[in-house]
Chain A
Amino acid sequence: MTPRTAVDTAAGVRSGSLRAADVLEEHLARVASREAEIHAFNLVTQDAARARAADIDRRVAAGEDLGPLAGVTIALKDNLCTRGVPTTCSSRILEGWKPPYDASVVERLAAAGAVFVGKTNLDEFAMGSSTENSAFGPTRNPLDTSRVPGGSSGGSAAAVAADFATVAIGSDTGGSIRQPAALCGVVGVKPTYGAVSRYGLIAFASSLDQIGPFTHTVEDAALLMEVISGHDARDSTSIPQPAMQLRQELGKGVEGLRIGRITDLPAGADPGIMARLDAAFAALEAQGASIVDVQVPAFTYGLTAYYLVAPAEASSNLARYDGVRFGMRVEAPDTNAMYSATRAAGFGDEVKRRIMIGTYALSAGYFDAYYGKALKIRRLIANDFAAAYAKADVLLTPTSPTVAFELGSKGDNPLAMYLCDTYTIPTNLVGHPAMSVPFGTAELGLPAGVQIMAPTLGEPVMFRVAAALEEAAK
């Protein structure tokens, strides 16, 4: 049974042919039957959701026209601030904290009529690619529960894949929406940096973080983008433009578009994954697009640049978890001892590792060798992409080098885990949009995702290509 889309749900609820309460109960029933096994959520907010759905139905009955997401159930990654609702980043250090405010994205979704079903699990502070680094235990892939859903937004991807919610919101710093989307067989979008407000998104790496949707369909993703994008005065890096209009792009086809194949793409993807990429090029060519070869030589340095920039920014962003104003505290005889004890007990291993590497990369004597160099590599990558986009409208790569892997299989080897994001990281470094669209299956019959990358604010053409791939995958 194919899940009901957000577009259909909102249309049904707005016309009165569908009750928001019924939509919600269907989802909550699935949560009740499978959540114990999957652990997509840190918190299911069923009471608030029921009250909200009832309110929507009442308002529809009263003749009110609700927004474009009327009655659509949404799961929120647990690094988005929700007023009065615990927000943990899957970290002990934030246990018990209830933000006194809503993230801008949460406000916009609520204004559009959405029903929030809960806060989803993630790698602690979004640091990871498997959702195994959660203080509250891992999330499992609904398609094969011995495997990971990817990460860090694994809970959101799993929630959509298991149809616990119609759509979900995640955040993507180095691939944290696209990679789990690929591993769970759903659509995932990382918008242009600055297209979606970060206000209320708990920062991991401020110059890389972007919020984006998980959906079953490209059209739903376009709809979500229309709701959450657009200028926000509370985020100084928000691009001063109105919300994007993307659904109008979906039917335009790809005739005449130039699809770039990166000939010097770093190797390492599994054969089944590369086969799906080839099939995607063929499908687009068959629909009238032309395939062009491009080079992005600096692509390969993305991983190193990312693992210097992201931890450096994170080391500073995570300094505020000091046991003074909110969250956890381990008592100690003096303030410095309290800081060190609290942070040692409150953060998990991967978070500490990144704080350490980031602190080191910024510290006196090493700044130029590490952080300063990484910023220059960002520029190199941007220059290489600019040259590639002079020849191609979009670029296609695999989203993830592999299909969903088994829990625990990457063991205690952080570097092996980092390689999961080889193909997704470069776009974060340069702020470009990219999305993952499910495109058949690869190894073990598990889903494969194709990544579509576009230049800054190139979402319209990116979505055209996504719609074409989705059509071809049917």
Chain B
Amino acid sequence: MSVHITRADVAKVAKLARLNMSEADLDRYTEQLAKMLDHFEDIDALDLSGVEPMSQPFPLVNVMRPDVEQPTLDRDEVLAMAPAAEQHRFRVPPILGIDL
């Protein structure tokens, strides 16, 4: 792999992950993430061709539930926990740009 993570990469990732970062944060994370990725290069030596990826430890299939209503949560209890709510809805600041 040996891709080197750049400061620009880190800035882009921070934006994707919605984490505000100062210039100093960016420097620090770039250095730390680069070190980690270097450390992870031990797997470069492995021949993984023909190896099936394993995303779940225990192989189950077709786990489903019947289409039956279950009790819902109390709206007032839930909205009381929200940072901002009005008209029985969760309130957020203006959304800039539609979608995404």
A residues with a Cβ closer than 8 A to B are 96-98, 100-101, 192-194, 207, 233, 236-237, 239-240, 300-301, 304-305, 307-308, 315, 319, 322-329, 331-341, 343-344, 347, 352-353, 355-357, 359-360, 363, 366, 369-370, 372-380, 382, 414-415, 429-432, 456
Inter-chain contacts of A240 with B (CB < 8 A): 60
A363 touches B48 (CB 8 A): no
B42–A430 touching, CB < 8 Å: no
In whole angstroms, what is the CA distance A304 to B37 when docked?
A: 9
Cβ-defined contact, A372 with B53, below 8 A: yes
Tell me the complex Cα distance, A140–B84, Å: 37
Are B5's CB and A360's CB within 8 A? Answer: yes
Interface of A is mostly: helix
B11 → chain A, closest Cβ, in Å? 11
Residues of B with C-beta under 8 A to A100 = 73-74, 77-78, 81
Instruction: Report the Cα distance A307→B43, complex, angstroms.
Output: 12
The residue that A344 contacts in the complex, of B9, B20, B51, B95, with Cβ under 8 A, is: B20
- Given contacts A305-B43, A325-B90, A359-B17, A376 and B53 within 8 Å (CB-CB): yes
The 5 nearest A-B residue pairs measured at CB? A431-B57, A375-B53, A329-B83, A344-B20, A339-B18
Provide the residues of chain A in CB contact with B43, threshold 8 Å: 301, 304-305, 373-374, 377
User: Could you write out 16 A-B pairs with CB less than 8 Å apart?
Assistant: A100-B73, A194-B57, A326-B83, A331-B93, A335-B92, A352-B19, A353-B29, A355-B19, A356-B29, A373-B46, A375-B53, A375-B54, A379-B52, A414-B32, A414-B36, A431-B56
A353-B33, A360-B33 are contacts. A375–B55 as well, Cβ < 8 Å? yes
CB distance from B92 to the nearest CB of A (A): 5
CA distance A128 to B77 in the complex (A): 33
- Give which listed residue, B17, B52, B56, contacts A315 with CB less than 8 A: B17
Contact of A239 among B18, B21, B36, B60 (CB under 8 A): B60
Q: Are A377 and B46 in contact, CB atoms less than 8 angstroms apart?
A: yes
* In the assembled complex, B24 has its CB within 8 A of some CB on chain A: no
Interface centre among B1, B39, B40 (most CB of A within 10 A): B40
B residues in contact (CB < 8 Å) with A: 1, 3, 5, 9-10, 13-21, 29, 32-33, 35-37, 39-40, 42-43, 46, 48, 51-58, 60, 63, 65, 73-74, 77-78, 81-84, 90, 92-97
A323 near B83 with CB under 8 A, answer yes
| A335 lies within 8 A of B93 (CB) | yes
A370 CB, min distance to chain B CBs, angstroms: 7
The answer on a CB contact under 8 Å between B60 and A237 is yes
Further contacts, 6 of them, CB under 8 A, given A334-B93, A356-B17: A319-B18, A335-B95, A338-B93, A347-B19, A372-B53, A373-B1
Q: Is the CB of B48 within 8 A of A376?
A: yes
Chain B residue contacts of A324, Cβ below 8 A? 82-83, 90, 92
Complex Cα spacing A343 to B19, Å: 6
Q: Which residues of A contact B13 (CB under 8 A)?
A: 356, 359-360, 363
Given known contacts A194-B60, A335-B95, A415-B35, A379 and B54 CB-to-CB distance under 8 angstroms: yes
Closest to B12 in A: A363
CA distance A328 to B37 in the complex (A): 32
Cβ B53 vs Cβ A336 within 8 A:
no
